[in-house]
Structures are given as structure tokens and as C-alpha cells.
Amino acid sequence: MNAQRIEVKRIIPVPADVIFSLLCDPSGHVKIDASGMLMSAEGPRVTQVGDTFLVHMDREALNDIPLGQYTVTIRITAFEQDREIAWTIEHPLIDPPMGYVYGYSLEAVESATQVTSYYDWSNAHEVHRARINFPVIPEASLRATLGILARTVVAAETK
């Protein structure tokens, strides 16, 4: 890790393809979000770099910038089946683009998967650095999201 990137890891006792499938589903992100900002999502499952979907957000959960409810486009920036998925946030009123990335990398370990959740703001534009206190999402939220992810996929596997 560096001063502009957070990574948290957790071993989850399910295969990587199960986890990756949830991460390719826009509504899957809402199901596992621990920040409280993701209200709903719409769009098709993502299958490649460049795919997009919409997420309806509520910034009041963070109580940092009075944006209220708004919608962003999630653009996939990394996609390697069952190994890595990452995205950036776009909005037509945000120029220049935010420049930060969220993602997950997955690695098989015995009969489980080590999941790394990361948030990298090293390419955030200086305009946004001047008005936003980075990191927007604290490490504790990333860690909590991994806990919810584990609970969600383990429950789905035991049905």
C-alpha cells in the first residue's frame, strides 16, 4: 500500500467464480456496500473493460459533501475473469473525471479465495483533491464490505 491506495484482504471459503459473478452484477455492489451510499443499481452484468452501469447514490451517508441523492456511471477499467475487476466513477457534471479507482482482485488459496479490495486515488485530479478529503471511503468500510461479501456468497453457496 501507499499513501494514496488502501487495500484490505480477506479469505472467503468459496470459489473465485462465485465471488466474481456477484461483482459483475450491478445489484451485487449494492448488496455488499458497507458505506451506506449505494441505494440501487441498474444495467446489465459487466463482461469487459469499458462496460458501464448506473448506481444511484446518497452522499448523506458520509456527511462530507452536501450532494444528497445523485446517479453516477460506473465504468469498468479492469476485467480479468475470476481474477480482477475494477472501475471508476463518471458523471456528466464532473469535469475533469474523478480519476480514482475501486476494485477487487481474487486469488485461489486451497479451497477458498483471497479477496483484495482496493481503493486507489493516486490519479485523482488536483481539482478534486482540493475539494475532497481523500480517502472518500475509509479502510474500515472496505473491510466491512468484505465481511458482507463473505456473508452473502457463503449464504448463497449453502442454499
pLDDT at 2: 64
Tell me which fold the domain 5-157 belongs to: Alpha-D-Glucose-1,6-Bisphosphate; Chain A, domain 4 (3.30.530)
| Closest residue by Cα to residue 105 from 47, 20, 5, 1 | 20
pLDDT at 63: 67
Quote the mean pLDDT of the chain.
92
Confidence of residue 130 (pLDDT cuts 50, 70, 90): confident
pLDDT at 31: 97
| Closest residue by Cα to residue 19 from 8, 5, 31 | 31
User: Average pLDDT, stretch 101-116?
Assistant: 96
CA distances from 153 to 123, 132, 135, 137, 150 (A): 32, 33, 27, 23, 5
- Note the pLDDT tens digit of each residue in 19-71: 999 999 999 999 999 998 899 999 999 999 999 999 999 877 776 777 778 89
Strand (E) or helix (H) holding 5:
strand 5-12
Q: Is the pLDDT higher at 43 or at 131?
A: 43
- pTM for the model stands at 0.93
Confidence of residue 157 (pLDDT cuts 50, 70, 90): confident
